[in-house]
Chains A and B, each alone.
Chain A
Amino acid sequence: AQTVTQSQPEMSVQEAETVTLSCTYDTSESDYYLFWYKQPPSRQMILVIRQEAYKQQNATENRFSVNFQKAAKSFSLKISDSQLGDAAMYFCAYRSGLDSNYQLIWGAGTKLIIKP
């Protein structure tokens, strides 16, 4: 069975600096997708970024980028120029490419604190 591990329960960063959130996963599959979701205090879950396993290029969305290391089964999220609005819980999630029901396997989350 696939698992997703986020080893950092909490991280803090100074405003305007860069922070990296870690995520590792375990799978025997070669076709899968990885996601980062953000949950701010308003509690709405928001999709931040998505990575297809078959793509070698790391996904980027504005200040958010990932470091996808397929062999190491690592999928970290880098947030550049951190802003106060980035304060939230961040969840890493895995989806099998074989699952036509699109079920996600979730990590436990990392709470990101932004220091002004």
Chain B
Amino acid sequence: DAGVIQSPRHEVTEMGQEVTLRCKPISGHNSLFWYRQTMMRGLELLIYFNNNVPIDDSGMPEDRFSAKMPNASFSTLKIQPSEPRDSAVYFCASCNQGEQYFGPGTRLTVT
């Protein structure tokens, strides 16, 4: 199994641009989580899905953030428009029997 796949691994963009982060969970896992990690705030849960349905998006910081899971094998996290304070590492994790398996993360830098 290839594990959780995230793309891109690094993203550098200018303030105001739209950013789309992608995640492919492990096949057969029915829960998917998006996290953000910064030095200041540590690891924050943004949103999670169960069977492709968003369950809790209370961690999404603002309306500029949106996430979708159109099918069991793909999810996106979109930031529009991006701001410098969105710079962070964004992780996707998938889960089946209670253990979350993380992707390698996307390091986002907004200048």
Per-residue interface assignment for chain A, residues 13 to 46, with 1 indicating a CB less than 8 Å from any chain B CB and 0 otherwise: 0000000000000000000010101000011111
Partner of B95 from the list A37, A42, A102, A108 (CB cut-off 8 Å) is A102
Residue of chain A at shortest CB distance from B98: A102
Interface size counted on chain B using CB atoms at 8 A: 22
Q: Given the known inter-chain contacts A45-B93, A47-B99, A109-B42, please indicate yes or no for A101 contacting B104, CB distance below 8 A.
A: no
A68 at the interface (CB under 8 A from B): no
Counting contact residues on chain A (CB < 8 A from B), the size range is 20 to 34
Residue of B with least CB distance to A42: B104
- B105 and A44 contact, CB distance less than 8 A: yes
13 A-B contacts, Cβ less than 8 Å apart?
A43-B104, A44-B105, A47-B100, A47-B101, A95-B98, A101-B55, A102-B31, A103-B45, A104-B45, A104-B100, A106-B42, A108-B42, A109-B43
**Which chain A residues have a beta carbon within 8 Å of chain B's beta carbons?**
33, 35, 37, 42-47, 50, 91, 95, 100-104, 106, 108-109
